[in-house]
Structure formats: structure tokens, C-alpha cells
């Protein structure tokens, strides 16, 4: 019997080519689209056109499945998405932290709810159009994740949270290709989405205006506060903690005679601290909520030289990772890094581009 695989269909070129590749490899393929978010405001709905949460993307996914003659289903996870992703997104900003909703979506929606749905349908695997490599390493006795061939499109950073059980049932057919190759393949396969633009911003935020989105959802007025410099002097009023993130320069509304940046946020005191560019540098960080991939973990007190990514688009930095307790690591950079941001993920790699693990940044270690 053919092995059965459910492909998470977003209506874009990557998931569409994923479905074709797996069908051509002999799998029995089922396409499923998650309906995650639809605003009450028709204008807001219109501004979501093209994103993976939009209605037109569901229709694109359906048409692709029809052209491939494979079954198509749509599942409604709007309630779960609102609670597990959007609510988390809002609360993190209110705490003065910067969330990563794509990681939350992967953890809760794709590799929990949708994977369970795939297994319930009798499938052996869930496949997605992420750019990453995955295989079973006999030497380690573990499934591993490796950066994609196309380093500009690599998505290993947002997948560090996958467990061994989830990796056992997951396929990533695109990890060995470059995005230009995928578009050419989509054109050769006759897929109408071959030239569809990539989704760039957060799928549920119209026009990338997260501030208005948070304002609309907030049950209480967002409290204003004061900007301070690093010496404790008041510089002016700010609009509210959720509107700022570490390293931010634009939108501060301050004229100080020098380039000003957000260097710290204190949500309890409603303070945003402003400084110069060199004051945004950090020599390390602490991270919690750890997940290990290529290794089972470290012993408490053990250290390891690693390559470190503190945001999705950042180049890996060299540093040392020290396990302080079973769920807290200390990272010290070889050279100071700019704008370490609590709430974001930090992911650790070895010299061979394997994902060792990762966690959530909780504290910065200032220079």
C-alpha cells in the first residue's frame, strides 16, 4: 500500500510544489488547508488578500488540489488560533516582549492540531513547504534538522520546537532546492500559483499595522508612559509599551540631536529607555522553554560552543552555551550582538548547520 501523507496547503507556490513532488514520489496525497483567521470587518478582510489566512488562499489551495486530482479538505481552527496565537501575540507585546507568531502557529496549529488530524486520517506523515532538511541520524539515534540548501529561504529557525515524535511524522520535500528552482518547477508542472508573491508579513495583521490591531483587541486603554535616557532623565511621553521593541529607531517622535534607539523596556513602570546605537549591544542572554533536536540536551553546568541565531533573518553568531538548570541556558557571545529581544526565539546550531535546539529569550546580558 502507498504511504499516505497530508500536505498543509496554504495556496502558495511552496506547498503546491510539495504536493506535486510527493505525489510523483508515489505517496497517496491529501491536501488540507487550515482556516485560521477571518476578521469581522470586510475592509480588514480585503487587506488580507494574498496572505495564508485569506479566503483567496483557501480557494487557490482548492484549485491546486483539483488540478492534481487529490482530495482537498479545509479545517476550521479559528477559535484555537485566536487563543493560542493571536492572544499570545497581544499579551507578549503588552508585557514589553516581542513575540514570534509564526513559531507559535507551527507549535500549536501545524504540528499539533493538523498533525493529529493527519494521523486520524490514517496518514503516516504531515508535509509542509518549509525550507529545511530532516532525516534520521543513525549515529545520534535521533531525527535531525539541517539548514536548507537555499540559506536565504531557510526556515530551520522557526522549527526548532519540533519534538522527536513530531519529526518522525513530518516531511519537508523542499529543503534540497532553491526558491528559484521551486518556481520553475511550479511553472513546468502547470501550477497557476507559480508566480504568486511570497507572503512577507504576519498573516493576520492587515497592512502590517500591528499597533492598530492590538488597539482594536485590547480590553483596556493602552497606558502611556515616559521615555527615559540611560541616565534616568525624562525625554518625553511614549504612546504605550506595546508600541515599542528593543532596537527600534523609527516612530519614537524624539528629536535628541543623535540617532536614538529603544535600549530597554520596563512594562511594570511603563518606561521605555532610549539610548545610542552602541547602547543596544548585548554580550549574552538567558533563554528558557528549551527544546533539543540533534542532541538530547546538556548536563547542568556543561558548556558547548555553538552558532546562535537570535532572530529569523540574523546571521548566526559564535558563542558559548551553558546549561544552568534543566530548562535555562546562558549564552555568551564571542562578540557583542545588537538588540537581543526578550520574547524572540534563540536557536543553537553546530558547525554543520544542524539544529541543536532552541528556546525563548527571557533576559539580556548587557555589555
What are the C-alpha distances in Å from 114 to residues 4, 52, 58, 227, 269?
A: 15, 15, 16, 44, 41
Indicate if the pLDDT at residue 50 is higher than 60: no
**Burial of residue 167, with CB atoms counted within 10 A of its CB: 0-12 exposed, 13-18 middle, 19 or more buried:** buried
Q: Is residue 357 part of a domain?
A: yes
CATH number, domain containing residue 352: 2.40.30.10
Residue ranges for the binding site? 8-15, 34, 129
Q: What pLDDT is attached to residue 322?
A: 98
In this structure, the answer to whether residues 269 and 238 fall within a common structural domain is: yes
Residues 181-220 have pLDDT tens digits of: 999 999 999 999 999 988 767 888 877 788 888 888 888 8
Does 151 reside within a domain?
A: no
Binding site for ATP, residues? 8-15, 34, 129
289 shares a domain with 265: no
List, in sequence order, every beta strand (DSSP E) within the chain. 4-8, 28-35, 72-76, 125-127, 132-137, 142-147, 170-171, 225-229, 234-238, 261-266, 271-275, 281-292, 303-309, 317-325, 328-338, 345-349, 355-366
Q: What average pLDDT is seen over the chain?
A: 93
92 within some domain: yes
Over 60: is that where the pLDDT of 145 sits?
A: yes
Distance linking the first and last C-alpha atoms of the chain: 60
> Does 46 map to a domain?
yes
Q: Is the pLDDT of residue 42 over 60?
A: no
In angstroms, what CA-CA distances link 320 with 103, 196, 285, 337? 24, 41, 11, 13
pLDDT tens by residue, 266-317:
999 999 999 999 999 999 999 999 999 999 999 999 999 999 999 998 999 9
| Residues 51, 118 within the same domain | yes
Q: Are 118 and 169 in contact (CB under 8 A)?
A: yes
**Predicted pLDDT at 2:** 87
CA dist., res. 87 & res. 81, Å (int):
8
* CATH number of the domain bearing residue 40: 3.40.50.620
CB 20 within 8 A of CB 189: yes
Say whether 105 is catalytic: yes
Q: What domain range is 342 assigned to?
A: 281-366
- Answer whether residue 261 is part of any domain: yes
Are 313 and 345 part of one and the same domain?
yes
- Give the number of other CB atoms < 10 A from CB of residue 279: 16
Residues 6+ apart with CB under 8 A from 127: 5, 6, 7, 8, 18, 19, 22, 170, 171, 172, 173
Q: How far, in Å, CA of 25 to CA of 19, rounded?
A: 10
Catalytic position from the list 52, 53, 65, 105: 105
Q: What is the pTM of this model?
A: 0.92
Looking at the structure, tell me whether residues 197 and 57 fall in a common domain: yes
Q: Which of 160, 181, 208 is the last residue before a domain boundary?
A: 208
Mean pLDDT of all residues in 63-77: 96
Q: Measure the CA–CA gap between 191 and 203, rounded to whole angstroms.
A: 23
Q: Average pLDDT for residues 68-92, to the nearest whole number?
A: 95
Mapped onto helix, strand or coil, the DSSP state of residue 79 is helix
Please say if 53 is a catalytic residue.
Answer: no
- Percent residues over pLDDT 90 in the chain: 84
Domains of the chain: total: 3
Pair 55, 199 in one domain: yes
Classify residue 158: in a domain, yes or no. Answer: no
DSSP states of 197-209 as a string? PPP-S-TTSGGG-
- Give the chain's count of helices (H) and strands (E): 10, 17
Q: Please state, for a pLDDT cut of 70, what percent of the chain lies above it.
A: 95
- Residues 229, 304, single domain; the answer is no
Does 226 lie in the same domain as 112? no
All 3 cell numbers of residue 115? 498533525
* 141 lies in some domain: no
Q: Which three cell numbers stand for residue 89?
A: 501575540
Which residues, listed in sequence order, are joined to residue 304 by a DSSP beta bridge?
Answer: 321
Could you tell me which residues come within 8 angstroms of residue 28 by beta carbon, excluding any fewer than 6 positions away?
A: 2, 3, 4, 5
The pLDDT confidence band at residue 247, using thresholds 50, 70 and 90, is very high
Asked whether residue 44 falls in the same domain as residue 181, the answer is: yes
Q: Kindly state whether residues 106 and 229 are assigned to the same domain.
A: no
Q: Are residues 34 and 9 part of one domain? A: yes
Residues 40 and 119 in one domain: yes
150 located within any domain = no
Tell me the DSSP string of 233-256: -EEEEES-GGG--TT--TT-----
The domain spanning residue 227 has which CATH number?
2.30.30.280
Amino acid at each position: 500500500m502507498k504511504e499516505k501523507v497530508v500536505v498543509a496547503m496554504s495556496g502558495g507556490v511552496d506547498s503546491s510544489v510539495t504536493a506535486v513532488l510527493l505525489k510523483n514520489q508515489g505517496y497517496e496525497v491529501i491536501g488540507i488547508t487550515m482556516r485560521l483567521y477571518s476578521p469581522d470587518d470586510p475592509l480588514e478582510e480585503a487587506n488580507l488578500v494574498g496572505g495564508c489566512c485569506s479566503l483567496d488562499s483557501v480557494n487557490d489551495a482548492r484549485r491546486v488540489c483539483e488540478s492534481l486530482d487529490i482530495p482537498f479538505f479545509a479545517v476550521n481552527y479559528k477559535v484555537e488560533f485566536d487563543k493560542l496565537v493571536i492572544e499570545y501575540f497581544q499579551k507578549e507585546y503588552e508585557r514589553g516582549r516581542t513575540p514570534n507568531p509564526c513559531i507559535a502557529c507551527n507549535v500549536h496549529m501545524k504540528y499539533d492540531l493538523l498533525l493529529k488530524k493527519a494521523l486520524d486520517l490514517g496518514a503516516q506523515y504531515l508535509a509542509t513547504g518549509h525550507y529545511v532538511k530532516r532525516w534520521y541520524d543513525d549515529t545520534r539515534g535521533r531525527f535531525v534538522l539541517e539548514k536548507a540548501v537555499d540559506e536565504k529561504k531557510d526556515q530551520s529557525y522557526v522549527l526548532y520546537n519540533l519534538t522527536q515524535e513530531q519529526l518522525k511524522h513530518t516531511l519537508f520535500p523542499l529543503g534540497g532546492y532553491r526558491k528559484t528552482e521551486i518556481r520553475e518547477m511550479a511553472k513546468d508542472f502547470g501550477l497557476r500559483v507559480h508566480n504568486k508573491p511570497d507572503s512577507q508579513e504576519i498573516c493576520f495583521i492587515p497592512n502590517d499595522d500591528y499597533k492598530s490591531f492590538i488597539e482594536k483587541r485590547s480590553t483596556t486603554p493602552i497606558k502611556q508612559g515616559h521615555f527615559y535616557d540611560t541616565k534616568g532623565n525624562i525625554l518625553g511621553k511614549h504612546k504605550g509599551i506595546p508600541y515599542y521593541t528593543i532596537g527600534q529607531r523609527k516612530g519614537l517622535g524624539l528629536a535628541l540631536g543623535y540617532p536614538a534607539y529603544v535600549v530597554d523596556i520596563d512594562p511594570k513602570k511603563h518606561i521605555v529607555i532610549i539610548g545610542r546605537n552602541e547602547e543596544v549591544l548585548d554580550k549574552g542572554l538567558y533563554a528558557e522553554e528549551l527544546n533539543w533536536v540533534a542532541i538530547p540536551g546538556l548536563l547542568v553546568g556543561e558548556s558547548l560552543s555553538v552558532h546562535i541565531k537570535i532572530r529569523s533573518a540574523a546571521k548566526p553568531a559564535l558563542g558559548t552555551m551553558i546549561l544552568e538548570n534543566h530548562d535555562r541556558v546562558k549564552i555568551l557571545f564571542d562578540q557583542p550582538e545588537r538588540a537581543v529581544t526578550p520574547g524572540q526565539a534563540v536557536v543553537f546550531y553546530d558547525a554543520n548547520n544542524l539544529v541543536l535546539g532552541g528556546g525563548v529569550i527571557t533576559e539580556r546580558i548587557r555589555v
